[in-house]
Structure 1
Amino acid sequence: MDCIAAKYVSQKISKIRWRPVPSESLHQPDVFATGSWDNEDNKVSVWAVGENGVSSMDDEFEGDPQLLCETKHEGDVLDLQFLDQDKIVAASSTGAVTIFKHHPDKDKEGLSVAHTWERAHRYPCDNAPCTGVVCNSPELVSVGEDGRIVLYKVDQRAILRVIENADSSTIHAVTFLKTTGVLTVNSIGQLKLWDFRQQGNEPAQVLSLTGDRVPLHCVDRHPNQQHIVATGGQDGMLCIWDVRQGNMPFSLTEAHSAEMWEVHFHPSNPDHLFTCSEDGSLLHWESSANSDTPSFLQGGRNTSIISRSAIAPAGGNQSLISAWLAGDSSKGRLETTHMLPSQTLSVNSLDVLGQCLVCGTDGEAIYVNRQVPV
């Protein structure tokens, strides 16, 4: 745990994201953004670590996050995504979607508002919180408590398309499944696929948890095999789905003892997955289909698995099946490691890129680990 740097920032962190690294770059990420919530004045902030974060102050050490700039944000930051190297998109509890531009000039580093879509999410008589945004430049999609899905083009002021009444319940999160569509999760345990090539307001596919309609809070798709999706929700269960087969999750894993707030596949090594929770834990999951011995106890945690068998696509290559869909989970291996030195208040958000992991908490702390074993 010596490789973890902690920074106390006097604000509850709701969202945290690494700035993307150019594809041709060999460097590790060194700049990230945060959004706050439940504070008197909420902020979007940009931080640096590593060489960019070295401070001349004696009480700081290399790797300790250093604040580069920040700006006030109206309402709670409910989601935060980098659009590109210098633009950050924020979702607000006021219903607004705002693009901030980062100006990295050393003399006058700062954040400015490039554009705001006010009341992108709304009820007839009031604003509705915008709960999630996802970027695939130049396109941007937002979802909200109002059950709307809104499609934007970054270089256009007008909204491109709205799917009204996409959901009768709150949509909690959204991710691009393909360039032509998105995946949403809602407060009654449903996962919906939307194809923007279709003109109607109906989803192309609906998947759901059986039994109790447990709210789903987060979703991420496998970076290489887009039919594989991970979700987490109010009951702390980690669900892996294969959207090609059936409408139920492929596997369910008892991950956390309280709400799971975020789940992320590692973008370049997706046999690794990370989750964070209201219970104050941040977990690193490593899946492998090549082991005969299950190892559920690493990190001192007992994880139980309920699984359905994966079926190889007709004529498919067995070697192309992800470790997450490796058939009976008892024949595979799922190693779980606690990534924080001790449990804290709710870990609300995490992001991982290269060997660098960052998370933000209700304990007004940011944790950075630049030596993640992936």
Structure 2
Amino acid sequence: MDMAAQMECVNAKYVSQKISKTRWRPVSAASLQQPEVFSTGSWDNENNKVCVWGVGEPAGFTMEDELEGDPQLLCECEHAGDVLDLQFLDQDRLVTASSTGAVTVYKLHPDNQTLSVAHVWDRAHRYQSANAPCTGVACNSPELISVGEDGRVILYKADQRGIVRAIENADNSTIHGVTFLRTTEVLTVNSIGQLKLWDFRKQGSDPAQILALTGDRVPLHCVDRHPNQQHIVATGGQDGMLCIWDVRQGNMPFSIMEAHSAEMWEVRFHPTNPDHLFTCSEDGSLLHWETSSGSDTPLFLQGRNSSMMSRSATAPAGGNQSLISAWLNGDSSKGKLETTHMLPSQTLSVNSLDVLGQCLVCGTDGEAVYVHRRVHV
């Protein structure tokens, strides 16, 4: 698909607020339908909001009309502080992380016409005499995790008012992101370039594992887990580099790629086709990364992006030669990587993205939301 055809599939919606987070509402696994509802959170506005938008196909829509279809605002709710993270817990509930330190659960009512606050953990993140921003949340219903600038990792159950567990001194630097690896394990990334693995079956405040880029100490801003292989994660940080890690193999990344010229704010594996990965950045770009196995070209050394380079770690001696993920480019896996720019032109910072089915949504500091409904995955 050429660039012009790609761009015809992109809808820009101007929303009069800087968008910090965008997320698709999950669709039931059994249905093959494309997502039709997404949520946004705003930041740096006088009054911040959580909004729910529809991109469905009203009766009488034709294929031609659909590409014209702007997202329609379904409902909204005020949000105290900047929305620093936003995740759907399930089809009816979403969770926000606030710059005030609060974690809030919102309920989306069945007709999608109303959004209301179901529960707030106020000042979940705090210093002794002031609030500490809550920087990230991760959901694995009914459980959720929050992390913050105060270095705490907190475990909740969505239907319980109290907190289940807090690791008070998990980090003495800011934790920027968190993801579940398994039901009992989460991975956090921090402002001194470390990944820490936490096992909630263990007592105490020590991580089960620490991984880091030696010597660099570059802040990591985002992390995502491979949907099928929980030991593979992708991270992005202050220097715009994309790193792929295997948490089972040593404590260095497998691959490091030059992705963006400024901070990478989010990285996302495609949930059902994880040979595709997406990144967005302060530099105003959104990239689609695609690995394809079976080529003779070493993975990550070829691509349309001439500035791309690779400092791949070699496969560990006697290491696992049955690696099936194309992202782990040990000797056993050859392939190539292509990158495609997904936005019509460079914009202000692209703060957030989400991808589900063939649909991609992202939000920017240019007060715009972009929806792409023909992503080739």
| Cα distance in 1 for residues equivalent to 2:27 and 2:239 | 34
Q: Percent identity?
A: 77
Matches within 5 A, 1:268-347: 268-293=272-297, 299=304, 301-311=306-316, 318=322, 320-327=323-330, 331-347=334-350
1:164 to 165, 168, 175: 168
Q: Does 1:189 align with 2:193?
A: yes
| Cα distance in 2 for residues equivalent to 1:220 and 1:36 | 22
Q: Does 1:96 align with 2:99?
A: no
Q: Is the 2:254–2:328 Cα contact (8 Å) retained in structure 1?
A: yes
SS where residue 5 of structure 1 aligns? strand
Deviation at 1:292, TM superposition (A): 1.3
Deviation at 1:61, TM superposition (A): 6.5
Match of 1:155 in 2: 159
Deviation at 1:317, TM superposition (A): 6.2
Q: Is the 1:347–1:362 Cα contact (8 Å) retained in structure 2?
A: yes
Deviation at 1:149, TM superposition (A): 0.4
Q: 1:296 to 1:309 in 2, by over 3 A?
A: closer
Matches within 5 A, 1:92-131: 92-105=98-111, 109-131=113-135
Q: Is the 1:297–1:336 Cα contact (8 Å) retained in structure 2?
A: no
Q: 1:54 to 1:13 in 2, by over 3 A?
A: farther
Q: 1:5 to 1:350 in 2, by over 3 A?
A: same
Match of 2:69 in 1: 63
Q: Does 1:228 align with 2:235?
A: no
Deviations 1:305-362 (A, max 9, x none): 1101234976x562x4210112269953010100001000000000000110000000
SS where residue 327 of structure 2 aligns? helix
| Cα distance in 1 for residues equivalent to 2:301 and 2:349 | 24
Deviation at 1:279, TM superposition (A): 0.2
Deviations 1:204-253 (A, max 9, x none): 00000112210000000101111111000000000000111111111100
Deviation at 1:112, TM superposition (A): 0.5
Deviation at 1:70, TM superposition (A): 0.5
Letter of the structure 1 residue corresponding to residue 314 of structure 2: S
Deviations 1:28-61 (A, max 9, x none): 0010000000000000000010315999xxx996
Deviation at 1:162, TM superposition (A): 0.3
1:216 to 190, 215, 220: 220
SS where residue 57 of structure 2 aligns? helix
Q: Is the 1:53–1:62 Cα contact (8 Å) retained in structure 2?
A: no
Letter of the structure 1 residue corresponding to residue 336 of structure 2: R
Letter of the structure 1 residue corresponding to residue 307 of structure 2: N
Q: Is the 1:301–1:336 Cα contact (8 Å) retained in structure 2?
A: no
Match of 2:18 in 1: 12
2:79 to 73, 79, 86: 73
| Cα distance in 1 for residues equivalent to 2:293 and 2:266 | 24
| Cα distance in 2 for residues equivalent to 1:196 and 1:251 | 29
SS where residue 324 of structure 1 aligns? coil
Q: Is the 1:30–1:52 Cα contact (8 Å) retained in structure 2?
A: no
Q: Is the 2:87–2:94 Cα contact (8 Å) retained in structure 1?
A: yes
Deviations 1:246-283 (A, max 9, x none): 11111100000000000000000001000000000000
Deviation at 1:287, TM superposition (A): 1.2
| Cα distance in 2 for residues equivalent to 1:300 and 1:54 | 41
Match of 1:141 in 2: 145
TM-score by length of 2: 0.93
Letter of the structure 2 residue corresponding to residue 166 of structure 1: A
SS where residue 207 of structure 1 aligns? strand
Match of 2:203 in 1: 199
Q: 1:266 to 1:120 in 2, by over 3 A?
A: same
How large is the RMSD of aligned CA atoms in angstroms? 2.1
TM-score by length of 1: 0.94
Between 1:59-68 and 1:337-346, the stretch displaced more is: 59-68
Match of 1:237 in 2: 241
| Cα distance in 1 for residues equivalent to 2:45 and 2:328 | 42
Q: 1:296 to 1:355 in 2, by over 3 A?
A: farther
Q: 1:114 to 1:329 in 2, by over 3 A?
A: same
Between 1:361-370 and 1:293-302, the stretch displaced more is: 293-302
| Cα distance in 1 for residues equivalent to 2:350 and 2:60 | 26
Stretches of structure 2 lacking an aligned partner (at least 5 in a row): 1-6
1:46 to 42, 45, 52: 52
Deviation at 1:291, TM superposition (A): 0.9
Match of 2:370 in 1: 367
